[in-house]
């Protein structure tokens, strides 16, 4: 996978998607800073996820953004998404490959080099480490450090995605320490201070 270093944002959807979301998404993607968009809906019905997913996929395609599904490999297949993201408790990567073939599969590695080594051996397309900061989107069970990034970079050239409470005041440190992409959600979608477009513009 080759990506421009200027497009280092891995954007994760809000947990609820309302009508205003699609316009905001277009505004954000127009800034050409996003390489991946992950649809992460825990509470919606399959029917609703398919409707939402089809709309988002079209928008992503228009802006040349890879469209990924969180946790749900069969939904990724139904939507013919560009890939999926798997947590440690989700389907294993070999089963996922049987279903979606040669698409992008990323693996959550929390703060563990051991989990990263397993994911690398299993040919994951990217490794997601975190949380690097406290986050309002998700309870933080695992804390990751800059040191972890350095260690991971020494053992692999696999793409690294940093996650967890990333915003305009703490993102640069992660990029400087060789994270390829920054997974961002709450800072864009639930920001009390900035609208989504203003929020993404502050990440340069």
Q: Name the residue ranges covered by the structural domains of the chain.
A: 9-201
**Residue 70, Cα to own-chain centre: how many angstroms?**
8
CATH topology of domain 9-201: TIM Barrel (3.20.20)
Q: What integer pLDDT is reported at residue 2 of this predicted model?
A: 61
For residue range 116-138, what is the model confidence (pLDDT) as tens digits? 999 999 999 999 999 999 877 66
Give φ, ψ of 9 to 5 degrees. Answer: -90, 130
Give burial (CB, 10 Å; 0-12/13-18/19+) of 95: exposed
For residue range 5-28, what is the model confidence (pLDDT) as tens digits? 789 999 999 999 999 999 999 999
Q: What integer pLDDT is reported at residue 137 of this predicted model?
A: 66
Vertex 104 angle, CA 112 and 146, to 5°: 30
Q: What is the DSSP string of 87-144?
A: -TTS--HHHHHHHH-SSEEEEEEET-HHHHHHHHHTT-SEEEEE-SS--SSS------
For the chain, which ranges sit under pLDDT 50? none
């Amino acid at each position: 996978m080759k990506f421009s270093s200027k497009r280092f944002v891995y954007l994760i959807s809000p947990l609820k998607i309302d009508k205003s979301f699609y316009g905001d998404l277009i505004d954000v993607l127009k800034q050409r800073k996003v390489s991946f968009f992950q649809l992460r809906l825990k509470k919606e019905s399959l029917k609703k996820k398919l409707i939402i997913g089809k709309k988002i996929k079209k928008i992503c395609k228009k802006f040349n953004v890879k469209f990924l599904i969180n946790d749900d490999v069969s939904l990724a297949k139904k939507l013919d998404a560009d890939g999926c993201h798997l947590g440690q408790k989700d389907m294993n990567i070999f089963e996922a490959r049987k279903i979606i073939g040669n698409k992008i599969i990323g693996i959550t590695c929390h703060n563990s080099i051991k989990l990263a080594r397993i994911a690398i051996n299993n040919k994951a397309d990217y490794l997601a480490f975190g949380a690097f900061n406290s986050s309002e989107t998700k309870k933080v069970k695992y804390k990751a450090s800059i040191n972890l990034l350095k260690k991971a970079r020494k053992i692999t050239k696999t793409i690294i995605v940093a996650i967890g409470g990333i915003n305009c005041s703490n993102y640069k440190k992660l990029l400087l320490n060789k994270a390829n992409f920054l997974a961002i959600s709450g800072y864009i979608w639930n920001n009390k201070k900035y609208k989504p477009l203003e929020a993404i513009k502050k990440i340069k």
